[in-house]
Every structure is written in C-alpha cells, then in structure tokens.
Structure 1
Amino acid sequence: MTVTQHSPVASPRHADAAVPHGAVLPALFVSHGAPLFALDAGTTGPALTQWGAALRQQFPQLRGIVVMSPHWMARSLQVMTGPQPATWHDFGGFPPALYQLQYPAPGSPALAQEVLALLNAAGLAAQGDEARPFDHGAWVPLMHLFPQADVPVVQVALPAQAGPADVYALGAALRSLRSQGVLVVGSGSMTHNLAEFFGGVREPAPYVLEFSRWIESALVRGDLQALLNYRTLAPHAHRAHPTEDHFLPIFFALGAAGDDLHTSYLSREVMYSMLSMDAFALQAAH
C-alpha cells in the first residue's frame, strides 16, 4: 500500500471549527481512516492537531479522554482499566515505519472506575479490562489530536450486538464527564467500504460525498431520529457502510453531546476516493 495524494472536499457552512468557551468540553467524532493516516496525515491530521492545541488552551482542566473505537468489539460492555496501555499495531502489510510508532499516553484507573460507575448506574452492565491495549482506531487519531501523549486515555469497547440507539445510550450515560474535564471521543469512519479501495490518486466517489453531506445536514438540523435511522434514510448507506461498526461511534459522540447542539467541522477530506475523513465537534448552541 503506497502513500497517496488526497482529494479535499469543498467546505460549505461553518467550515472553520472553533473550540468553544465555557466549562463543558465538546464531544468529538473523528474518522480514523486507514492505519497509514498515522504517517500520511493529509489535511485532516493537521486540522486535528490545531484543534487539540486550541482545546488545551481553552480547557486547561482537561484531565482525560474517553474514546470508543470499532476495533475493540466485545460480547459485553468493557472498559480499559490499565495504568499504561500498550500501543497495538493491529494491522498487517503496511510500511515498517508504521510499526515503529508508539503512543505512550497513560491510562487512568481512576477515570475508568468513574466510567464503569456511570455505565452501571445507567443500567449498562460493564466490566473492566486491565490488559487492553490501544488499538489503532484509538491511538492513530489521538496521535494527531494530542501528539505529546500526555493526556490519560480510557477506551470503551463497542458491544458487538449494539445498534445506533444502544451506542447513543452509552454516550449519554457518560455525558456528565464533559463538565468534569473529560473529552468524549467517538472514533470511526464517515464512510468505510474497503472493498472499493484501489489506491492511487482518484477523485472522491460521488456516493461518498452524498452520504457524508446528508449526515452533515441531519447534524446541522439536529435531526437525531434521521441519524438513528440513517440505514434506511441516508443515500447509499449500505454502500458507505456494508457493516455498521465504523459508523456506530458517531452515536457515542452524539449521546455524550446531548441536545441543542452546534456542529463544528474540523475536516471534510476524502482519502483514497472512498474514505471520508469527516471530523466534527459537538457543543451546546448557546
């Protein structure tokens, strides 16, 4: 697999994402793309880095990150509890340099216990996993967001049988963390049909743009029901996501964000013609 050029998508409304002022952190959705995103950052990586630096300035009380990635799917609800999770290179066939990368952010057993308590209080039975490493769906985007790797990170598993409403409920159970110095992140992919990956320099596939902008329109309208039912309402939903796993983390961010939202886009880049790298922050509209 070779490093390719990227096709940026023209930015419509609210193109420049700003980190909000106030005591409550935003929730964040990021597309982590292919593992090579760690090295081949396109325009999305620098946008995440800039946003992360601005967040640190405006929220110096940032004490941790809670992230969900589709690369940790479990039969039951699990939460990372280890103090120093390893960096897992959970992929094959990429350049050797990719396997040398490490993201040595600490875990946070204390924050993990808070997460477990909130989930269990919401009736969502969860257990800790002390041995869980960071998979690339977590460490690759975090490497761009917080390159110093100095913010403690706790990862939450995506339950294997969960649907959009289930994942939304998981995020909603953790909503209070945003007012306690914790950034809640859903890491997935706005589009993810790897059967259509051919490499090379190619224009964004039209269906990728149509699906991504339909989702953006629903976000801007605050139409949660449309988003929860995207599988039947969004154009090309099954082509954009032959399986739901890489889209479901968007609902983790939406649940953590709650109602009355303003959506600020960090990126609308498309890589390899078929991977939409959309990333956006969600915060209160007032």
Structure 2
Amino acid sequence: MRQSYEKHAWQPALFIGHVAPTQTLSGNRYTKAWKAIAEDIPTPNAIVCISSHWVTTGARITALATHRTHHSASPVATRLESIHNPAPDARKIARHIAENVPFELSLDKCRGLDHGSGAILRHMYPEADIPVLQLSLDTTLNEEEHYLRGQQLRFLREENILVIASGNVVQNLALFDQQALLAHPWALVADSQIAHCLVQGDIAPLIDYRSMRKEVRMGIPTPAHFWPLLYTLGMRQDDDMLDFPVLGISHGSTSMRAVRLRTR
C-alpha cells in the first residue's frame, strides 16, 4: 500500500447525497451513479468519510484494524447486516491525520462505519481493498467553523486521500413520503436555490442558510445532514471545477444531489 503522505495529483472532494439504507441493498440509478463516480477518479491511498450520522462533542476519527459496520437499532437492522466494508487496517493513516490537522482529533477504536459511509462505499468500492476512516462532525462547531474545518482538511486531497462527505443538501424526514413519485415543490425550490449558490461559488448564504428563503429552511430542519457539504466546499481550491454527478429528489423530500470538486 502506498503511504498516505505521498504526493500525487489531487484527489477530488466529494459530497454525496445518501438515501434510506434499505434503498442501497439493490442497484438503482443512484447506486449506479456512485459507482460511476468512483470509476472516473484515480484510486486513492485511503478514504476519509464524513457522515451526517456521526455527531460527537469534539472531533474523532476511527482507528480500527478491521472495520465493522455500525448500525443504529432499528427494525431494518437485520437486513442491513449485508452492508459491510471490511477494509484494510487504517490505524497508521488515522494517526498521520491526527498528527497533522491543526485541531484536536481523538482516535476512536470502537466505532464502525455507519450507513452514511458504508452504504455508499459498498457501491463505489465493492472490493473493500482501500483503507477507510470516518471523521465525526463536532457538534460544538457552528456552520462557519465546519466550513473552516474543511479547509483544514484540504491537504488530504494532495496526499491522494479521497474525502467523501455524506449527507443531503435537502432532507426533511417529517415530510418523507414512501409513496411519492414526484418531488415536493418546496424541495425542488430548496434544492435549486442551494445549487445556484454552489454554481456561483457563493458560500456565505450556505453558511448562513437559516437566512435563506423558507423552502431552504424547510429542507434543512436540522443541520447534521447539511454540515458535510460545508466540509466539501471548504476543501475547494482555486482551479477546481464543480459539477453535480448525481441529481434527483427521493421520497418527495430528500435531495440526492452529489457535488464533485476536481482539478482542471
């Protein structure tokens, strides 16, 4: 395995919208798009996932010899046991990252990958032959500080480490509709407003999303699924191209939009 600190062409920075974990057990247009994303980028030395489903007081990074999948207790837990990512030992890389970031980062030797990471990687890298780490979202930070933390992690891209942030630019579970075939109008508006800011490179409204129009506020009733996007934006460099390799609204109220930043 190549060392995590070797210099290569910069890895892209990715934000991927994820869906209910049961929807990843079989292939669909979203999982096929995730696979296509992986096929279009250089093989990384390691992968760092930032999932909306791991929120802690203070920052933590997984440091396990063998990853297991972390499942929240739920009626579908048995079905989710098929989602595994038995990736190689990532402890050395975890220590390297913890020693080189300008903030306190604790090594977590117990936590496995949650579905925000594992369900995506299952389709992007099914061979599970790349070391995988997961970085927590520090609940003591505000939105601007999450964005700045993304900037502090930008060096990972240069070290051939792929950072995948996983959440949703729009998600309102209270308005989730299992039978919905079309997006709720407010969800379309919220998704397009956020996309407009991304295309224009206008980060300030996204950091202060609570001041955006009501449809955006409806789409972000709680911040955890939105925070990972700020990490991806923080990792942007001046000559990056931005595109959206995945689009769509799932179950009426969840944006599946993916954001990709890559060098020209």
Alpha-carbon distance, 1:153 to partner: 0.8
Who is 1:49 aligned against? 35
Alpha-carbon distance, 1:255 to partner: 1.3
Who is 2:48 aligned against? 66
- Name the CA distance, whole Å, in 2 between partners of 1:75 and 1:279: 27
| Kept after mapping to 2: 8 A contact 1:184/1:256 | no
Alpha-carbon distance, 1:145 to partner: 1.5
TM-score, structure 1 normalization = 0.84
Provide Cα deviations, 1:58-95, integer angstroms capped at 9, x if missing partner: x24x1001111121111111111112121122241228
Q: Which moved more, 1:92-101 or 1:158-167?
A: 92-101
Q: Please say if 1:155 is aligned against 2:141.
A: no
Q: Which residue type is aligned with residue 229 of structure 1? A: D
Corresponding residue pairs, total: 257
Who is 1:185 aligned against? 164
Q: Please say if 1:254 is aligned against 2:240.
A: no
- Name the CA distance, whole Å, in 1 between partners of 2:119 and 2:82: 13
Q: Which residue type is aligned with residue 174 of structure 2? A: A
Q: Which residue type is aligned with residue 85 of structure 1? A: H
Alpha-carbon distance, 1:167 to partner: 1.3
- Name the CA distance, whole Å, in 2 between partners of 1:78 and 1:242: 25
Q: Which residue type is aligned with residue 141 of structure 1? A: I
Who is 2:194 aligned against? 215
Q: How does 1:238-253 map to 2 (within 5 A)?
A: 238-253=217-232
Name the % identity. Answer: 28
Who is 2:107 aligned against? 128
Who is 2:61 aligned against? 79
Who is 1:173 aligned against? 152
Alpha-carbon distance, 1:203 to partner: 1.0
- Name the CA distance, whole Å, in 2 between partners of 1:125 and 1:98: 33
**What secondary structure, in the 3-state scheme, does the structure 2 residue paired with 1:149 have?**
coil
- Name the CA distance, whole Å, in 1 between partners of 2:214 and 2:242: 21
Q: Which residue type is aligned with residue 80 of structure 2? A: L
Who is 1:270 aligned against? 249
**What secondary structure, in the 3-state scheme, does the structure 1 residue paired with 2:81 have?**
helix
**What secondary structure, in the 3-state scheme, does the structure 1 residue paired with 2:262 have?**
strand
- Name the CA distance, whole Å, in 2 between partners of 1:34 and 1:96: 15
Provide Cα deviations, 1:202-252, integer angstroms capped at 9, x if missing partner: 310111111111111111111121221222125522210111010000011
Equivalent of 2:9, from 16, 23, 28? 23
| Kept after mapping to 1: 8 A contact 2:22/2:79 | no
Alpha-carbon distance, 1:37 to partner: 2.9
Q: Which residue type is aligned with residue 235 of structure 2? A: A
Distance 1:91 1:279, change over 3 A: farther
- Name the CA distance, whole Å, in 1 between partners of 2:28 and 2:251: 11
User: What's the RMSD between the two structures over aligned residues?
Assistant: 1.8
Alpha-carbon distance, 1:159 to partner: 0.8
Equivalent of 1:106, from 79, 88, 93? 88
| Kept after mapping to 2: 8 A contact 1:185/1:252 | no
In structure 2, the gaps of 5 or more residues are: 1-7
| Kept after mapping to 2: 8 A contact 1:222/1:260 | no
Alpha-carbon distance, 1:41 to partner: 4.4
TM-score, structure 2 normalization = 0.91
Distance 1:199 1:28, change over 3 A: same
Q: Please say if 1:142 is aligned against 2:127.
A: no
Q: Which residue type is aligned with residue 53 of structure 2? A: H
Alpha-carbon distance, 1:266 to partner: 1.3
| Kept after mapping to 2: 8 A contact 1:24/1:180 | yes
Alpha-carbon distance, 1:46 to partner: 0.2
Who is 2:70 aligned against? 88
- Name the CA distance, whole Å, in 2 between partners of 1:149 and 1:281: 22
